[in-house]
Amino acid sequence: MRKVIPITEFISTEVKNNLALYLLLSFVVISLTSFQTVPTEKAKKFKVVIDPGHGGKDPGTHGAYTKEKDIVLKVSLKVGGYLEELLDDVEVIYTRKTDTYSHPKVRATMANDAEADLYVSIHANAVGNAAIRGTETYVMGTKNEGRNFEVAKRENSVILLEDNYKEAYQDFDPTSPEVNIMFSIMQEAYQENSIILATNIESQFSKRAGRKSLGVKQSSLWVLWNTAMPSVLVELGYLTNAKEEKELNDPKVQDYLASAIFRGIRDYKKYLESTK
């Protein structure tokens, strides 16, 4: 180890004899040698909550041989993996990473407590007409018409699995269209950005992943209403369509869907940065 020679050793005897000058120089030397650079505060990471729908005792919808909870978990983990690998300034928060159940209130609270920037809930669809297929991305809204209302009833019905759901959800009836006004008021602040994100994702599904896009939809979904940030619910496809069920079980198709959602989030983040 090299010997460090104090700067004061180089001060001449003549200067030292001048007490006032010597003390002044000593003060300057001490100040300079003791100076430390204060590290700058790290920039806040962009937090994205990835919510694989259902899980555990709640299987979600199903096809001939597929449970929704299994497909959406696989795709969700891939989405989070792309975000963590390709975007340095993004933090991913999962509502579940295994086949476990947590009710919507816990998932929404998790996102709110983390002060997340985005909430993306990932699901798979089902309908009585087996010919229907395609992706859909939902934002909060009051247009509960046709299949939109069926999606709302199905996704909200998970609330009924809770023993004390009336207390926990303040007597919210997940099958009642009268809740639409309340939903609309609560989520209005995030509506525009939610639509931008949803549009990005559906565009990526159609143009880059080769999926049939049924577009951006609005519906009264409890989990989107109760999250205090831009939020979307993505339907990957219809498990009740034989062709689409087979495709959703294909790891390559799962990769395409996950990368499309990733790019939708990435482009949304770029848009936010461009408006600052």
Q: Where are the domains of the chain?
A: 46-274
pLDDT digits (tens, 9 = 90+) for 126-144: 999 999 999 999 998 655 4
Task: Report which secondary-structure segment, H or E, holds 92.
Answer: strand 90-94
Among the listed residues 50, 53, 58, 127, the one whose alpha carbon sits nearest the alpha carbon of residue 90: 50
Across the range 80-88, mean pLDDT stands at: 97
DSSP result, 104-170: HHHHHHHHHHTT-SEEEEEEEE--S-TT---EEEEEE-S---THHHHHHHHHHGGGGGSTTHHHHTT
Of 223, 231, 236, 15, the closest CA to residue 123 belongs to: 236
Q: What is the pTM of this model?
A: 0.74
Q: What is 46-274's CATH number?
A: 3.40.630.40
More confident residue, 8 or 83: 83
Q: pLDDT grade, residue 190 (50/70/90)? A: confident
The values of phi and psi at residue 197, to 5°, are -65, -45
Do residues 274 and 219 make contact, with C-beta atoms less than 8 angstroms apart? Answer: no
The pLDDT of 12-37, averaged and rounded, is: 52
Rounded CA-CA distance 166/74 in Å is 32
